[in-house]
Structure 1
Amino acid sequence: MASHAFKVKRITDLGVEIVEADSDRQFVRHMHDHFGIGLVVHGAQRSASGRGQVEAHAGDLISVNPAEVHDGKPIGDGARRWHMLYFSPQLIAENFADMAADLGSRPCELAYPVLRNRQATVLFGTLYQTATQAVEKSSQLPFEENLSLLLEHMLDHTVSKPPVSGAAASRAKAMIDDDPLAAVSLASLAKESALSRFQLVRAFARLTGLTPHAYLIQRRIQRARHLIASGVPLAEASHASGFADQSHMTRHFVRSFGFSPGIYARQ
């Protein structure tokens, strides 16, 4: 049975377009005006790219640069399914500029039309989920830091400079510690540390073992646990801890502690 289904969603605040596709059709040579990174979820396809003809199978990451001519046809008789994120050129250019200091030169394109890398695949999955579940401005920080980490895998690397000191990242950590309810951005944390956003994410992870957003969530969930233990109602505790709503708090509470805020409140 023929298969051809597309879902498209634009998240203007994040500068990204989400495409979920399931198709057995062949696509003619064409190009996009955005950077695209995606994951083949099922099946396989063969396509032209700026680096020659490539094959992508389930579990592989795929990418395309603006104005890069490519096509696509399924391998075998069945359809292939894939998820794509298309980023505005401006957004990627800003990230490339941040990465220049560490990479030795400023990147200009995504290097791998097909990439099989477990860590990169996990990062893409997190990034895709963040984009698809975007809620107001609360998604900005995790989206920015996961994009920065993912892009590092999608580039050819020259000799990198030595890691920056932990003292710089400590200033960003202190900024979160001083006001964990503040709606911080990766740009504001980087400015406080006098680092690029790319440098900050890596330096912060070396310092704390967590990305800035993951650390911020832990500070908020600790505050929520303290409030709940003090008898504050769950809805009020979630609001007072910086979460979008009670379900948002509950999701992170369970992930961190293994039990729900409701169970904790009854103890």
Structure 2
Amino acid sequence: MPEQPPAAAVPHLRSEVQRLRVFDLEQVRHQQHGQEWVPHWHGEWSFGAIVRGECRCSVAGRPFVARTGDVVAIAPGVVHTGALSAPQYRGSVLVTMLYVPTAWLLHEGLQAPAHSGVVHMPRLAERARSLAGTAEVQAWLRRVVPALRRSLRAGSSAIEPPLPSAAVRALIERVQVAVAGGETSVAGLAGHCGVSRERVHRVLTQWVGMAPGDYLRAVRLHRARQMLLAGEPAASVAVACGFADQAHFTRWFRRSFGYTPGDLLQAAVRG
């Protein structure tokens, strides 16, 4: 039997980020098989189309697989993770994500979906393959947001996290106040909130979906992203946000957002 040639290596394809100068809309194209994200959240609505391949997701603690033709909606502040794969496409994957501020939805007179969720919309997903420029992105959103709102009512495709008790909500609010005030350690969070470290760990893990250390790092990364968009150089941002060095900062930034600080700075300049 003749020897088979070795399989071709799958090239490393960087995620492509584009900032649109309309209410700070952001478009990101993810193309790398095997790319993974650590638990994180966004301050905007996230709308994503699985154009090719699949994404193994966990949103608000609920795991699911979004496949080719699916459109995903993730509400602001909802913790999620993901991992891209393309078992039927020889390593080729394409997921288009749009990050949409509430201000844009209000300007357009659009109501967001009631919940996060995933809906099979093959035609709309395919149209996200080659969105180019502000006009096409906004036209796609004007179609997909109402369609998601109609589909993501209370039902099997909606991801509705359970509601915490009043005491748990109050503790989470105290944690957020402490973090906003500059607290950077789990012990400091516990002291500020007047509870044990174990209580902070239990509440954040169960109701936020992240261990306290991961939550604090995510807050630092969100602060870093805002500093980058304000024009701060990456090296200065890394130091200001408590990362050991720029390489360490870049690694965690990419694992959270899918692209590097340098990619974001270039997108901000191009936008």
Flag the structure with larger Rg.
Answer: 1
Q: Same fold (TM over 0.5)?
A: no
TM-score of the superposition, structure 1-length normalised? 0.43
TM-score of the superposition, structure 2-length normalised? 0.43
By percentage of residues, which structure has more helix?
Answer: 1
